Amino acid sequence: MRRVFRKHRMIPAFYTDDGSGLPVLFLHAFPLNSTMWRAQRRDLSSFFRILTFDLPGFGRGGPFPDGFSIDDAADMAAALLDERGIDRAVICGCSMGGYITMSMLRRHPDRLAGLILANTRAGADTSAARDNRARQAADVREGGMPDFLDEMLGKLLGETTVGTSPDVVRLVEDIMKQATPEGVAGMLEAMAARPDSAGDLRATQLPTCVIAGEEDTLILPSEAESMVELLDDGELNIVPNCGHLSCLERPVRFNAIIRTFLQTHVLS
């Protein structure tokens, strides 16, 4: 029997909460889990309160509920803030996590102190992209999970990382193996159904940091440039020598960008 998601707030099955000070909640990319943020937990928790969690179907996030959406994931993030007694936090989302961040901006604007949008886009899927996600979800449910993860591994990392950092390649591969077919297929469908968020970015007054990977072929740096043009208070950072997972591929540069942004634009 499938576990059906009920429309009430659900606390994540697994989360972390390290450090003190300004709360920063990190939302992971697809098809990874919160392990991808280990360098941020290690290096930034000396300055800020760093929170992460696993979505259902990924890592230690528990079973994936049927019908779970990007908006439901945003509600889950807000429920975690409630659980930890946090009124407002800076939300940092990478790729799919960025889609969830923009859903939080739409659904829970009073809970946000700032935005960090990494390797993501504001636009909804095109009809061709939706069709492709539907095909991928069907393939995964029919036993094609190993082939799908192999295909994703080739797209997530930049050419420089693949050529010079085999430890990062192995780490990403290991993290992806912790995803379930139900989670992968379900979040493919959830991403396909998400709305356009350009209007939400255009309307917000929140300080926003946009980060892109110079070698990202999944979401091109031009998408980050387009988001910054929408923002009233936005800054653009393009990280060299990395692809879609800038936080993992170039963690020192990524963390320096975040620390400077928070100290200059949120805490000042």
Q: Which residue type sits at 256?
A: A
Q: Which two tokens stand for residue 225?
A: 């440039």
- Give the distance from CA 168 to its chain's centroid: 18
CA-based diameter of the chain, in Å? 52
Dihedral, 103, 12, 131, 162 alpha carbons, nearest 10 = 100
Q: Output the pLDDT for position 268.
A: 84
233-266 pLDDT per residue, tens: 999 999 999 999 999 999 999 999 999 999 999 9
Q: Output the pLDDT for position 3.
A: 38
Residue 51 half-sphere exposure toward CB, CA atoms < 13 A: 23
Q: Output the pLDDT for position 129.
A: 97
Q: What does the alpha-carbon distance between residue 194 and residue 186 come to, in Å, rounded to a whole number?
A: 13
Among the four given CATH numbers 3.40.50.150, 2.40.420.20, 3.40.50.300, 3.40.50.1820, the one describing domain 15-266: 3.40.50.1820
Q: Which residues of the chain have pLDDT under 50?
A: 1-8
Strand partners, 53: 15
Q: What does the alpha-carbon distance between residue 22 and residue 114 come to, in Å, rounded to a whole number?
A: 11
Sequence length of the chain is 268
